[in-house]
Amino acid sequence: MDGVSFDVKRGEVFCLVGESGCGKTTTGKALLRLVDATEGDVFFELPTEEYRRYEELRAGRAPDAAARIDAIRRKYSFSWTEQLAWDTRQILFWLGAVAAAFVLAVGLPALAAAGIPGALVNTGFILGASLLCGLLLGVIGSLPPTRPSARTPTVLALLSILAFNLFPIVAALGWPATLPGAPFDAPGIWATVWGASSFAMLLGVIVAPIAAGAASKIVLARRRETEGLLGVKMRTLRRRLHLIFQDPYESLNPKQSVFEIVSEPLVVNKIAHDPEEIAALVARSLEDAGLRPASEFVFRFPHELSGGQRQRVSIAAALALEPDFIVADEPVSMLDVSIRTEILQLMMDLREKRGLTYLFITHDLGLAWILADRIAVMYLGKIVEQGTAEQVISHPKHPYTQALISVVPSPDPRHLVKRTILKGERPDAVNIPGGCRFHPRCPVAFERCGWSADEVAEELRSLSSGGRLLRIIGIEAQDSRTVTLQMAPGVSAGVAAATLRQIVSENRDSRLALKGVAEIRESGDAIQVTLQSWAEPPLIELGPGNAVACHLVTPPAEAVPAVTA
């Protein structure tokens, strides 16, 4: 998955279409944080004005752009974490705040000990001093400019232990009469205090970090609320976002009854506690999903249900929390045609009844044409075309979309459509082709689509095995841009190079990888083939409302006919 970007508007059905393995399910799971994306953001309920501001800030170079973008992400993004780098001024302010907190945590108990005779051997005073050390460090060390972090309470707790052990030494050094051996024998003073009040000091070492950590967490939690530093927490949104799994046979636990499956989200999310209330919500969800009467199904197990009934149970489990947004991952792909119609009609009825928004994942363009308000077509982890259902189905621009639509069966036998059969298999997502990802299978690929030396070498080997390249004994890719052909002894390099140029020119249209050849020249007893240079293709907008579009590079006019995009 790389550079996937789209928006789903409230109340619409947005279809994600593509071949198996292109990344549709991964995208849906990433939206719900069931898998974590390595980069990027998932915004929830982001106003249009804020989104425009976000894009302008990303495109511009305002001095405070990073801070303003972070404020938008913190408010609307699932994946926001504190990432802004500290500048020198902030670091100095933070060090000063922590130093001031440490000095007060040591100095105030020491001042009190100096004024109270025998304080350093009094158990009550020592425990009070440990509590004061912890509270001073925890509170002052968590105030601005300190940034809220999970590590801050731990750091302050460790500092409180050090402050608590230092305050008797500071007290004795400042007022020598309080302890014998003062003011020059600091280790002796520390040993004397621990020896005379070892139990109290041991309790103090425990109390001080607990007080510092607790005070720090309280202050930081309050700052997150008042300063808007909480971000969007997925735990609070789980009930509003849900997933309908693809396979109703694998997604249901065979050891749980229908009641347990549907009620589990209610219990986990603490929606209801009373058994009667839970039973009422389960019955309502089952009946909304078309399992009527619900009393006939609640105590059944998955093996006692048909495929359609299992899918309805999955839908009921998703509906139990009354979500706003549902990712429907091919919810009817495992069902018979007659049952599919019922399930799809049910989902559309629930959309109207409950105001649901769907991200509908499917590989069936015919189904997307019926259901979708907007469609995005994916190929190998990228969205290659996006628009309204009318734009994408009736006027496809990307060659991949055109090929998918051309093979959709037509109910009218008199309406003949020229079918485009894509050659080869979808590339391995672990080893993605350079340049345009679709170019190895694209029927209109041209010179600068991103051909690699391995692809060109494979085509040349095919020509050689077919008897087209005579007297060639070896073809190897030297690097990403160069292919070397070794000739048999006694063969003229100039004649072989001229023959290869002619063969490449004649086969460019049938063997598209040969379009990547830029130069053929002799090199001693070998021939070197140099490839066209290429760069990552820019996005081409298809029209109003299209966020992401065709990944094509406009070819030179004299090379091939222009591609409409």
DSSP string covering 76-117: HBTT----PPPPHHHHHHHHHHHHHHHHHHHHHHHHHHHHST
Same domain, yes or no, for 42 and 96? no
| pLDDT score recorded for residue 195 | 67
Same domain, yes or no, for 119 and 222? yes
- The CATH number assigned to the domain holding 518 equals 3.30.70
| pLDDT score recorded for residue 28 | 92
Same domain, yes or no, for 212 and 94? yes
Within-domain flag for 301: yes
Same domain, yes or no, for 283 and 352? yes
Same domain, yes or no, for 56 and 127? no
| pLDDT score recorded for residue 448 | 78
Same domain, yes or no, for 252 and 171? no
Question: Is the CB of residue 16 less than 8 Å from the CB of residue 52?
Answer: no
Same domain, yes or no, for 253 and 207? no
pLDDT: which is higher, 103 or 175: 103
Single-letter residue type at 489: P
Instruction: Centre a 10 Å sphere on the Cβ of residue 46 and count the other Cβ atoms it contains.
Output: 16
Please compute the mean of the pLDDT values over residues 167-174 and round it to a whole number. Answer: 73
Instruction: Write out pLDDT tens, residues 392-425.
Output: 998 999 999 988 888 887 777 777 777 887 877 7
Within-domain flag for 525: yes
For residue 262, pLDDT over 90 is answered with: yes
pLDDT band at 14; cut points 50, 70, 90: very high
| pLDDT score recorded for residue 474 | 85
Q: Which of 559, 438, 439 is nearest to 505 (CA)?
A: 559
d(CA 170, CA 163): 10
Per the listing, tokens 């989200």 go with 265
d(CA 285, CA 263): 10
**Helix (H/G/I), strand (E/B), else coil: 564:** coil
Same domain, yes or no, for 116 and 221? yes
Within-domain flag for 552: no
Single-letter residue type at 163: A
Within-domain flag for 422: no
For residue 558, pLDDT over 50 is answered with: no
| pLDDT score recorded for residue 230 | 66
Percent of the chain clearing pLDDT 70 (strictly above):
88
Within-domain flag for 383: no
| pLDDT score recorded for residue 383 | 92
Please compute the mean of the pLDDT values over residues 266-288 and round it to a whole number. Answer: 89
Same domain, yes or no, for 217 and 255? no
Same domain, yes or no, for 517 and 477? yes
For residue 12, pLDDT over 90 is answered with: yes
Same domain, yes or no, for 119 and 216? yes
Produce one character per residue of 542-559: b if its CB has 16 or more CB atoms within 10 Å, e if not: beeebebbbbbbebeeee
What is the helix (H) or strand (E) element at residue 136, kind and residue range?
helix 123-140
Average pLDDT value over all residues in the chain: 82
Question: Is the CB of residue 76 less than 8 Å from the CB of residue 50?
Answer: yes
For residue 23, pLDDT over 80 is answered with: yes
**Number of structural domains the chain divides into:** 4
* Residue 481, domain extent: 453-531
- The CATH number assigned to the domain holding 340 equals 3.40.50.300
Q: Which of 344, 362, 380 is the last residue of a domain?
A: 362
Residue 48: CB partners within 8 Å, gap ≥ 6?
none
Q: Which of 237, 221, 219 is nearest to 229 (CA)?
A: 221
238: its two tokens: 């789980």
Same domain, yes or no, for 266 and 193? no
Three-state SS string over 198-266 comes to HHHHHHHHHHHHHHHHHHHHHHHHHHHHHCCCCCCCHHHHCCCEEEECCCCCCCCCCCCCHHHHHHHHH
Comparing 320-324, 337-341, 429-433, 557-561, the range with the smallest average pLDDT is 557-561
